[in-house]
Structure 1
Amino acid sequence: MWQRLFTALILLSGLSLAGCGLSPQQLNPNPVFSGGIVAVGQGQPVQVRVVDGRSSPVLGTRGGMYPETSTISVAGATILPKLQAQVEAAVRLMGFTPTAGAMNAPQLSVTLSQLTYQSPKDEAYVTEADIATVLSVDVLNGNRRYNGRYSASMNQRSGMAPNEETNNQLVTEVLSDALNKLVRDQAIGNALLP
């Protein structure tokens, strides 16, 4: 009996310590779009560029009693190549040919304008997070221009602070949601036409 009580006390003290101090996380999300693209092009070249418009790779913190030690980050060098590949794949499905240096070809620029992760501050047990992103599009085709903003967000509640794998999945879902909105905007394909 005493052994069970002692074990329970150790578990409880371990859980309380885990709730107070959370370690930083360097995420590696993998956003993807899914279907729903209308082909309007006929193989015309398009210059595709994806850039990071954030002021910092830090999305926010996981909260807890010491939020300054529980930052969540997504490096531009990690996420930009994945977004570039997805946008180029979408441009192909729109009927265009992504290219790096075609003279006078329309330009499609996608900017990761925002990616945030917010948890309640000064709470020992973090059970809630708000995750949001904004992707911005700028199409330049001769003297025509098109701009768009595509946002996505989620509020996630859980019984305990999400681990790195869970946060990777959550951030991936939010980025994928915004990416889906972007690639399904038929105005982008129309703006790329001659």
Structure 2
Amino acid sequence: MSYTTVMKGIVLTAALLITACAQSPQAIKLAPTFAAPTQQNGGQSPVHVRVSDQRANKVLGSRGGAYRETAVITLANDLSLPVEKALSSYMAKMGYDVDSLNPATADLHVIFTSLVYDHPKEDGVGYDMDMSATVEVEARRGNEHYQGRYRIKRNQKFFNAPSGAQNTTLVNELVTEVLESMFSDPKLVAFLQKS
């Protein structure tokens, strides 16, 4: 076998390895879904739901690989609208009178300040993904107001890099989880249930 043939084989093998280690960018469609609420304790309390995206960094993270700086994960759609729609529907099922014209309606403003889904740079056994989401809540009714901050943080290990479909599922579950955590705050729930 000639030197040229050997060199071509080495170059081809190296190119294949680099390609195998590369991850392409991904834009995730946000469409969070909630399980049926275990309690319907809204008591027909009137509430208006608003969601804002005030994240300083719109990139969720990197898929990793040889070119992690370009293998970024972003959202394919606006965060506010699909989250607002899903949250309003969930609260209606909980028994709240959503988008009521009642003058005693509470304004629930949910502000996303952080959403992270990232493969850390460190190499190790398996494939880690760091996940976190932070929301701030401003609830107002007349001269009364309540503020809260809710954060979910976890790390999940995979044997191989998660697929695009897995990434989409995990990001949507993360968004749902941080929103559900708001309703574990008895002070917020009590504020919303006033009429």
Give the TM-score range, shorter chain: 0.7 to 0.9
- TM-score w.r.t. structure 2 length? 0.78
**Letter matched to residue 69 of structure 2:** E
Of 36, 40, 43, the match for 1:41: 43
Give the count of matched residue pairs: 182
1:181–1:36 Cα change, 3 Å: farther
- TM-score w.r.t. structure 1 length? 0.78
Question: 1:187: Cα distance to partner?
Answer: 2.9
Matches within 5 A, 1:129-168: 129-168=129-168
* Gap runs ≥5 in structure 2: 1-11
Equivalent position of 2:115 in the other structure: 115
Q: Does the 8 A contact of 1:41 with 1:189 survive in 2?
A: no
SS in 1 for 2:89: helix
User: Larger relative CO (CA 8 A, sep 6+): 1 or 2?
Assistant: 1
Equivalent position of 1:24 in the other structure: 25
Question: 1:58: Cα distance to partner?
Answer: 0.8
SS in 1 for 2:80: helix
Q: Alpha-carbon deviations, 1:64-108, whole Å to 9, x = none?
A: 22212100001551x322211222123323433222876563210
Q: Alpha-carbon deviations, 1:2-26, whole Å to 9, x = none?
A: xxxxxxxx8997455321x211000
Q: Does the 8 A contact of 1:154 with 1:174 survive in 2?
A: no
Bigger mean CA offset, 95-104 vs 173-182: 95-104
SS in 1 for 2:41: coil
Give the Cα–Cα distance (whole angstroms) in 2 for the partners of residues 146 and 120 of structure 1: 36
1:80–1:126 Cα change, 3 Å: farther
Larger radius of gyration: 2
1:101–1:15 Cα change, 3 Å: farther
